[in-house]
A and B are shown apart, each in its own frame.
Chain A
Amino acid sequence: GENVEQHPSTLSVQEGDSAVIKCTYSDSASNYFPWYKQELGKRPQLIIDIRSNVGEKKDQRIAVTLNKTAKHFSLHITETQPEDSAVYFCAASIRGGATNKLIFGTGTLLAVQP
């Protein structure tokens, strides 16, 4: 079926460095791509999303880029801080029967070393 692949599964960076997480999707009709952050023991929460009519979106230290032709999108975190340590999930809205369904990648565990 349609899926979302996410890499890497774990990522360790030094505080202040940048972190990049990449995802690919298979459904060319997908048009909504959110990113979620899940801190230990907590529920996933949206941090940024992008729609297919734009190629890049930025919110302070977080940015997302989308390449519709190649069917991949990436999360960029600059000037990482220890509180950025969490599991990050990408997702794509994919055709599923009568409506779209939200399919997630397998997650990236980001560790920011002080």
Chain B
Amino acid sequence: DVKVTQSSRYLVKRTGEKVFLECVQDMDHENMFWYRQDPGLGLRLIYFSYDVKMKEKGDIPEGYSVSREKKERFSLILESASTNQTSMYLCASSLDANTEAFFGQGTRLTVV
């Protein structure tokens, strides 16, 4: 079974804090993705990575950055958290762009 694991299920952070969301996959997948899920807006792509140290912006990258130093780990960074970044964050991985993506359990982030 593919396992995609996110480091936290729930997080509460203060406005202005730097926040790290970690994601690890155990299937040697090339592609990794970060989405945020908001009611009525579906899953919106923040950033994705197709190889170590390689990254591409998604549809809503503003206020976020990512890091992929090792193939199995993809980190999402909120440089200075704001209340409008309160959301459910989902990490996913896939072998390539045209195969099944496996999701982590999600991190519900609240910025106060």
Interface flag for A80 (CB, 8 Å): no
Point out the residue from A31, A46, A89, A105 that lies within 8 Å of B98, measured CB to CB.
A31
> Are B42 and A107 touching (Cβ within 8 A)?
yes
- Closest residue of A by beta carbon distance from B104: A43
The answer on a CB contact under 8 Å between B100 and A104 is no
| Shortest distance between the CB of A50 and any CB in chain B (Å) | 11
The chain B residue sitting closest to A42, CB to CB, is B105
Complex interface: stretch among B13-21, B48-56, B64-72: B48-56
Given contacts A9-B40, A96-B48, A107-B42, contact A101 B58 (CB under 8 A): yes
Q: Is A13 an interface residue (CB 8 A)?
A: no
- Report how many residues on chain A are interfacial, defined by Cβ distance under 8 Å: 26
- Bin the interface of chain B by size: 20 to 34
A62 interfacial contact with B, CB 8 Å: no
B-side contacts of A43, CB under 8 Å: 90, 103-106
State whether A99 touches B56 (Cβ < 8 A). Answer: yes
Assembled-state Cα–Cα distance A103/B59 (Å): 9
A28 at the interface (CB under 8 A from B): no
> Is A93 engaged at the interface, CB distance under 8 Å to the other chain?
yes
A102-B33 contact given A43-B105, A43-B106, A93-B98, CB 8 Å threshold: yes
Point out residues on B near A: beta carbons under 8 Å.
Answer: 31, 33, 35, 40-45, 48, 50, 54, 56-59, 90, 92, 94, 97-101, 103-106
A positions within 8 Å CB-CB of B: 1, 6, 9, 31-32, 34, 43-46, 49, 51, 89, 93, 96-107
Closest 10 CB pairs of A and B: A100-B97, A106-B42, A32-B98, A104-B43, A43-B103, A97-B56, A99-B50, A107-B42, A46-B100, A104-B42
Can you list 25 A-B pairs with a CB-CB distance of less than 8 A?
A: A9-B40, A31-B98, A32-B97, A34-B100, A34-B101, A43-B104, A44-B90, A44-B103, A45-B103, A51-B98, A93-B97, A96-B48, A98-B50, A99-B97, A101-B56, A101-B58, A102-B33, A102-B92, A102-B94, A102-B101, A104-B35, A104-B42, A104-B44, A105-B42, A106-B42
